[in-house]
Amino acid sequence: MRKVGIVGAGAVGASAAYALTLMGTCKEIVLFDVAPGVAQGKAIDIAQAGYYAPQDTIVTHADAPSDMKNCDIVVITAGVPRKPGMTRADLLMINAKIMKSVVGDIIENSPKAIIICVSNPLDVMSYAIHKITGWNRNRIIGMAGALDGSRMAYQISKVTGLGASQTGSLVIGDHGENMIPLPSKVQVGDIPLSELVSKEDMEGIIERTRLGGAEIVKYLGTSGYYGPGRAIAHMVEAILNDTQAIVSSSVLLEGEYGYSNVTVGVPVVLGKNGIEKIIELELDDATKAKFKISVDSIQSGIDILTENNFFKG
Ligand SMILES: NC(=O)c1ccc[n+]([C@@H]2O[C@H](COP(=O)([O-])OP(=O)(O)OC[C@H]3O[C@@H](n4cnc5c(N)ncnc54)[C@H](O)[C@@H]3O)[C@@H](O)[C@H]2O)c1
């Protein structure tokens, strides 16, 4: 079918639909949003943009979650942003409740789907979706490293002056302030990055990648959406076309990297089954320590949900 549902037709959801339509990756894209008219208006606009795409895509909207049926992949970008006076716990609970309702509809209407979670806080929301569905972990994938990696490649390209498309990228850990960009492990073309830039440059790349999202917020007053939208489309393409692409993603660990029952960003292979394989990198002690900080920060978010009885009933 090559049918993709996108729940939340805001900035990121619509950008993903637009990117997918221009790429001609899907047969059908269905948008749904709780805000009246938003999904319908954007679906019409994007469908018309598709006239110039290499391949036709049917872009429609769903009036109700039950109208979004039998999707191969459902992308969740529904959520609310943090507002003044809202604590981290408030935001966590609000977005987790949105996940519960959205995922309940997916279980009912697209029981065989692979879910790509985009809503923040990404790693904790991905964990919540695991617990709500009880599905095999290969079918629930958090989008984080795909975007953070594109931001890293952008920073590398700015330093080297070399084309970003030939630049590798690798970011692990949480999708937040403790993310761990690993430029020392990537290549540009076939050349290790460490042979092209200085140690100081490498540090700068790490820092600017970590702050990549905040830099956009500084100028726009809101977070980016074209980059996230295209990163989602890359993951959808990898799954629908079974490309076996390596993409860092937030996944449920079951012993890998020494952790269990927590979702965190690590490199995975994406293909027709969703996560085909988790790649376990050899990490040095300093990186292991950073990874633990990342995992601990995600676990503290999961703990907030547990303390507020989110997983009960
Ligand atoms: N993982 C990442 O790399 C990444 C990157 C960017 C943004 N995000 C996150 O993605 C989410 C969306 O960001 P955005 O910029 O598109 O926000 P946005 O406010 O533009 O869009 C969110 C949309 O979700 C809709 N919505 C809310 N509750 C819903 C529900 N129950 N069902 C259906 N739709 C619902 C809203 O009406 C809104 O249109 C946010 O949580 C944001 O933090 C994640």
pLDDT digits (tens, 9 = 90+) for 67-84: 999 999 999 999 998 777
Please give the distance, rounded to the nearest whole angstrom, from the Cα atom of residue 31 to the centre of ligand 1: 13
Please give the distance, rounded to the nearest whole angstrom, from the Cα atom of residue 224 to the centre of ligand 1: 11
Say what the pLDDT of residue 87 is.
83
Taking residues 27-40, what's their average pLDDT? 98
Of ligand 1's listed atoms, the one at least distance from the Cα of 224 is 6
Residue nearest to atom 37 of ligand 1 (CA): 35
In this predicted structure, the answer to whether residue 237 has a pLDDT above a threshold of 80 is yes
Percentage of the chain exceeding pLDDT 90: 93
pLDDT tens string 253-264 = 999 999 999 999
Say what the pLDDT of residue 85 is.
80
Cα gap 145→132, rounded to integer Å: 23
pLDDT tens string 80-118 = 987 778 888 888 999 999 999 999 999 999 999 999 999
Residue type, 157: S
Counting ligand 1 atoms within 8 A of each CB, the residue from 76, 120, 251 with the most, and so the one to mutate, is: 120
Q: Which residues are catalytic?
A: 175
pLDDT tens string 184-211 = 999 999 999 999 999 999 999 999 999 9
The whole-model pTM stands at 0.98
Of ligand 1's listed atoms, the one at least distance from the Cα of 78 is 24
Q: Which two three-digit tokens encode residue 56?
A: 């036709």
Say what the pLDDT of residue 83 is.
79
Say what the pLDDT of residue 1 is.
76
